[in-house]
A and B are shown apart, each in its own frame.
Chain A
Amino acid sequence: GAVVSQHPSRVICKSGTSVKIECRSLDFQATTMFWYRQFPKKSLMLMATSNEGSKATYEQGVEKDKFLINHASLTLSTLTVTSAHPEDSSFYICSAPSGRSPNEQFFGPGTRLTVL
């Protein structure tokens, strides 16, 4: 079945540094991928839609200069958290449409970011 991977699974960094998170569709191509943020015991909040070959579409209230998204190929999207601060600490999850049926999406395993 469709598999989405993320790397790294967890990362700890110092304030002010930038962190890159990769999302890959392993056995299918995805022209669109989605990035979510999840705080502890909360639901998933859509941050942006990553589009292969064009700019990402950000949800209202999400800083595009803070969360840089690049959809480099049909199987890879990256999210870079720039100049990270402790409030950016969260669980970041990506998803991709499976292509098997309309709207069906598969999620990656998530990346736990901790900013000290």
Chain B
Amino acid sequence: GENVEQHPSTLSVQEGDSAVIKCTYSDSASNYFPWYKQELGKGPQLIIDIRSNVGEKKDQRIAVTLNKTAKHFSLHITETQPEDSAVYFCAASLQGAQKLVFGQGTRLTINP
């Protein structure tokens, strides 16, 4: 089955700097890759997603890149702000399967 590895487990950056979180997946048939932000005591919130027919997607300060050949995808957050501090999870799933396989999570801390 699918296996998703996420790095780093913790990341600390200065406010205004960029943060990058990387994930790799094992099943080449996976074609949907969402990123979730989870704040303490809350459920995950979808922040951006990408499908395998696209190499990059951007939404304001957030972008995701996908390298199908290498089977890895990354989350990029620019101009980080204190409210970006949270745990971020990547996930992968097969078209139509709906089941998500999550990475281990990255605790992002933005230092003022």
A residues touching B (Cβ–Cβ < 8 Å)?
A: 4, 6, 32, 34, 41-44, 46, 49, 93, 95, 97, 102-110, 112
| Chain B, 75-108, CB within 8 A of any chain A CB | 89, 93, 95-105, 107
Interface of A is mostly: strand
Which interface class (under 10, 10 to 19, 20 to 34, 35 or more) fits B?
Answer: 20 to 34
Q: How far is the CB of A5 from chain B (nearest CB, A)?
A: 10
- The one of A46, A49, A93 that contacts B43, using a Cβ cutoff of 8 Å: A93
Interface of B is mostly: loop
B41 contacts the other chain (Cβ, under 8 Å)?
Answer: yes
Q: Find chain A residues with CB under 8 A from B12 CB.
A: none
B55 contacts the other chain (Cβ, under 8 Å)?
Answer: no
Q: List 16 A-B contacts (CB under 8 A).
A: A4-B43, A34-B98, A34-B100, A41-B105, A41-B107, A43-B89, A43-B104, A44-B44, A93-B43, A102-B32, A104-B46, A105-B98, A105-B100, A107-B44, A107-B45, A110-B42
* With contact pairs A43-B102, A43-B104, A110-B41 given, residues A103 and B95 touching in the complex (Cβ less than 8 Å): yes
Q: Find chain A residues with CB under 8 A from B105 CB.
A: 41-43
How many angstroms between the C-alpha atoms of A106 and B41 in the bound complex? 16
